[in-house]
């Protein structure tokens, strides 16, 4: 392996900024592990909705976050998935993308105990190196020492359009306006929370992806590595 390639590449940014797609392709090209930390907060949210029927009780959600086992494994099916997400052994890869998870995940991810539990696990996995880690706070909190930090951004309208197209492809019928409103709400909660808010690290390279395709974004990111 070329010694100049950073061991940990942190990619942060708001919903549907293109983080997941770019990170997955980059990881495949480098032979790195692709690790999307958002799936962990989504899995906790799904577990809370199922077991507690709500995410309001911070102590109960935190206890749940410490109890459940979340695994990320290579994809077992060819249905557009990039990985398998297991929640206590059950395949929840698509269940964590449901609109009720979208609506509640920002509240769950603002709970300090939940963040502590998830951050510990993320550090344990990332410490092995050769990883492209994606999230909201990787460059600021999880791995502030990462040698390369990228912050992908785009206007909320463009991001809502992308999410709308993704959901339509999966046969989930939601209107563009509903997605736009939900995304604005989630952006606001993620950016304004007290712990680990969404923001670029001081030493992150900010890439605006408005009107730019995945290939071009990937090329720009690769240009930052070499
Ligand atoms: O795919 P999308 O960008 O819509 O969302 P995600 O990356 O799966 O993240 C879902 C939610 O988890 C975010 O809205 C945040 O509230 C939370 N999250 C976080 O707080 N910290 C991370 N490192 C990753 C996600």
pTM score of the predicted model = 0.92
Q: Which of 105, 122, 146 to mutate to test the pocket of ligand 1 (most atoms within 8 A of CB)?
A: 105
Q: Give me the tens of pLDDT residue by residue for the chain, a chain 226 residues long.
A: 455 899 999 999 999 999 999 999 999 999 999 999 999 999 999 999 999 999 999 999 999 999 999 988 889 999 989 899 999 999 999 999 998 999 999 999 999 999 999 999 999 989 988 999 999 999 999 999 999 999 999 999 999 999 999 888 888 778 999 999 999 999 999 999 999 999 999 999 999 999 999 999 999 999 999 7
Determine the Cα–Cα distance for residues 110 and 91; give it in Å rounded to an integer: 25
Q: Whose CA is nearest to atom 18 of ligand 1?
A: 38
**Is the CB of residue 12 below 6 angstroms from any atom belonging to ligand 1?**
no
Nearest CA to ligand 1 atom 3: 15
Indicate the top mutation candidate among 34, 37, 41 to test ligand 1's pocket, ranked by most ligand atoms within 8 A of CB: 41
Q: How far does residue 29's CA lie from ligand 1's centre (Å)?
A: 24
Q: Where are the alpha helices (DSSP H) in the chain?
A: 19-30, 38-51, 58-67, 99-108, 112-126, 156-169, 176-192, 214-225
> Ligand 1 center to residue 186 CA distance, Å?
9
């Amino acid at each position: 392996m070329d010694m100049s390639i950073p061991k940990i590449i942190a990619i942060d940014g708001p919903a549907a900024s293109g983080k997941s797609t770019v990170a997955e392709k980059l990881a495949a090209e480098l032979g790195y592990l692709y690790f999307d930390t958002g799936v962990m907060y989504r899995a906790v949210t799904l577990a809370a909705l199922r077991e507690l029927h709500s995410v309001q009780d911070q102590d109960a959600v935190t206890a749940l976050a410490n109890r459940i086992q979340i695994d990320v494994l290579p994809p077992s099916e060819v249905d557009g998935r990039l990985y398998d997400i297991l929640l206590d052994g059950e395949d929840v890869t698509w269940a964590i993308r449901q609109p009720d998870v979208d609506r509640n995940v920002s509240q769950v991810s603002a709970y300090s105990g939940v963040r502590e539990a998830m951050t510990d696990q993320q550090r344990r996995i990332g410490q092995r190196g050769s990883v492209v880690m994606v999230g909201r706070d990787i460059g600021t909190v999880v791995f502030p020492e990462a040698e390369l930090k990228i912050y992908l951004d785009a206007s909320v309208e463009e991001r809502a359009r992308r999410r709308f197209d993704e959901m339509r492809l999966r046969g989930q019928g939601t209107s563009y306006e509903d997605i736009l409103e939900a995304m604005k709400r989630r952006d606001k909660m993620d950016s304004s929370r007290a712990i680990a808010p969404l923001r670029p690290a001081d030493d992150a390279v900010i890439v605006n992806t408005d009107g730019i395709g995945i290939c071009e974004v990937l090329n720009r990111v690769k240009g930052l590595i070499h």
